[in-house]
Structure 1
Amino acid sequence: MASDKTSIGLQVNSRGISGDHVCQVGLGVRGRGVLVSMARGSHTTGTQPFREEFRLRKLGFEYDEPKHFYSCQWQWPAAVYISIRVFLSLYTTGALITVCAMNSTYTILRFLTIWTYILLALHFTVASVITITHHIKRPRSKNCSDDQQECKSRENPGFVDEEEMGRIQRKQPEGSQKDSKEQPEDKITWYMKLSWLLSDIVQVFSVVVTVIYFTAIYPTLTVTNSELFNDFNVHAVNTVFVLLDAAVCARPARVLHLVYPVGYGLVYIVFSVVVYGVSGTVIYNVLDYSQPLYPAVTVPGLALIVIPLLQLAFYGLYRLKLRISVKLYN
């Protein structure tokens, strides 16, 4: 009856492109008309309280939106995003093979540069495979290039406007809603967690490698043009690529994940100590253990200052992406 009026208030905990957030949803039903309003949670606009990043659970890799590991942050055609992923994978793999072919494998495997570049190529390859696999599995109608409006709501609940929410509600058949216990949220897979871990490490250490190379090593080098090209590939292009990766992908970022690049750095320090103890080889001047002052300054400086600042910078880039995407597509 036209005079009937029902109002329903819901608070929905969901996972958006930026992690946990709370959305306030109000439904007003008058007769046969449906009025839907949605107040978006703070995460969708990038205003989540910073202190939330320091909860213990943020150390882990639990995340309920697998699509963020194979989706573009921006509403680009799927073919464009896949092309970027494939290019990054092929380029870094080719550059790694070239560097290994032109140098003694035994010698270059001592360097932090090569360790990090191997992980970089592995990360881009894993991310490329994840992206291609999931885009092949998805129905064509779900591609961003085919249905932009549905893609908006699928990529980020914060992009769902009132008209779209109304359309979704009207399309949903009666009785289709089930108890949340019967339909548990999707979890990311182990290989998505691997991709996330690799990205945490390489995005920080690619910048570290670039800065150390151009401030402490490059000014003293005398190399041929071919060697210079390879050096730029593994010491400069690497940082360009991780910035591109961070800018276009929808993968989340967490401040406490700084422990993983710190752990990676400590593993390399132990390796350099073993190499020095066994053969007396000094891999880098800043890790010359015959002059303890150098490593005594370098190691704590990286672990306590440089790595945390870089992790914060990439987290800041992630939050900035969310704000821009809401401004562009909301």
Structure 2
Amino acid sequence: MDVLSQVFRAEFQLKQLCFSTVVYDRVFFSHWRMPPVLVIIYKVLLTVYVDFWLIYTAIRYEDIDVSGGSGTFIPWPAWLTNWTYTLLALHLTMSTVAIVVYHVVRFSYNHSWLCTRAGSEHWSIMHEGINQREITGDSYSTDGTQGPVIVRTRCAPWYVVVLWILFDMATAAVPMVTLMFFIFLWPQMTHSGGIDNDNLQLHGLNSVCLIIDFFLSPVPVRLLHVIYPFIYGLAYLLFSAIYWSGDHNRVLYPGVLDWNAPGKTIGMVFLVLAVLCILQLIFFALHKLKMYIYYTLYSLDFYESIGD
């Protein structure tokens, strides 16, 4: 219990709203010690897969008549599903581009794409609970003892902040869309032939892709970062209200998001916010599990490498 209380006390500090408690270089690597070339290959393959289905389903989409024949059609950009799949694609695309650019620049002066980082060097960017820092050179010493050199900086670069916020939003929003679809919308649909391929990609395999990326990603999960999925969800809520105000037949999600029944809709909003908090807590626990496994797997390698 003491460990848990320390973890939660550390998490509920205002500094955790920011992006300065880890080494920002870590976003360009894998959580696990892998050669950069393998990280790039998996990121490119996963990104191409998600981007392909985003473009393919958008091209195939036909506006849906939600008014029973009175001529009210919902276009592709109006659906939360498409917002969130676009968010997933944007998160993967931007992180992949950043990783490729980072390692291309490193390759220009250090041909190490095929080499796994030394245990001490990888640990030095994965270690948490400190102020923002970066590794310089190949020297490893701090406070007169052997270990990674630490250079204090005030905040992460803007592009790392953008990558981290996209990660935070996608990590909560993608599984939320999957849950909402299969719990509330799937029972309303005629699906005697099973789920069609588009819905499988947009509402099922979207979460599979997100989870694969999550377990390989070194980006930390912070409990207070749930504010960013909140902002994303409230932005869509505001959009849906404005969109509905122009034509009250524009009910995007009957029984879930229907401004003709505002009381029920507001209740669903609070439910979604609560589920977002639960999802953030689950992914926070999974992140801590990843770190525990990381220390278990690599602690011996690390201590041998620094001669401790």
Bucket of the pairwise TM-score, normalised by the shorter protein: 0.7 to 0.9
What corresponds to 1:94 in structure 2? 52
Cα contact 1:100–1:108 (8 A) shared by 2: yes
What corresponds to 2:297 in structure 1? 328
What corresponds to 1:312 in structure 2? 281
2-structure distance, mates of 1:309, 1:79: 35
Structure 1 residues 62 and 157: CA distance shift in structure 2, 3 A:
closer
Matched positions, count: 269
> Superposed, which structure 2 residues align to 1:20-31 within 5 Å?
none
What corresponds to 2:228 in structure 1? 260
Could you list the per-position Cα deviations for residues 198-236 of structure 1 after superposition, in whole angstroms to 9, with x for gaps in the alignment? 111111111110011112222333479898111111111
Q: Does 1:61 align with 2:6?
A: no
What corresponds to 1:107 in structure 2? 75
SS for the counterpart of 1:253 is coil
- Give the Å deviation of 1:255: 0.5
Q: Does 1:273 align with 2:244?
A: no
SS for the counterpart of 2:220 is coil
2-structure distance, mates of 1:150, 1:238: 35
1-structure distance, mates of 2:154, 2:185: 47
- Give the Å deviation of 1:191: 1.5
What corresponds to 1:290 in structure 2? 260
Cα contact 1:207–1:239 (8 A) shared by 2: yes
Give the TM-score normalised by structure 1: 0.73
Cα contact 2:11–2:224 (8 A) shared by 1: yes
What corresponds to 2:88 in structure 1? 120
> For structure 1, which segment, 83-92 or 184-193, has the greater mean C-alpha deviation from structure 2 after superposition?
184-193
Structure 1 residues 265 and 97: CA distance shift in structure 2, 3 A:
same
Q: Which one has a bigger Cα radius of gyration?
A: 1
What corresponds to 2:302 in structure 1? none
Q: What letter is aligned with 2:18?
A: G
**Same amino acid, percent of matched pairs:** 28
Cα contact 2:34–2:117 (8 A) shared by 1: no
- Give the Å deviation of 1:185: 3.5
- Give the Å deviation of 1:96: 0.7
> For structure 1, which segment, 55-64 or 96-105, has the greater mean C-alpha deviation from structure 2 after superposition?
55-64
Q: What letter is aligned with 2:271?
A: G
- Give the Å deviation of 1:147: 4.8
- Give the Å deviation of 1:150: 5.0
> Superposed, which structure 2 residues align to 1:157-176 within 5 Å?
none
Could you list the per-position Cα deviations for residues 225-252 of structure 1 after superposition, in whole angstroms to 9, with x for gaps in the alignment? 8981111111111111111111111111
- Give the Å deviation of 1:84: 1.5
1-structure distance, mates of 2:124, 2:111: 12
1-structure distance, mates of 2:165, 2:101: 20
2-structure distance, mates of 1:52, 1:197: 20
- Give the Å deviation of 1:142: 5.0
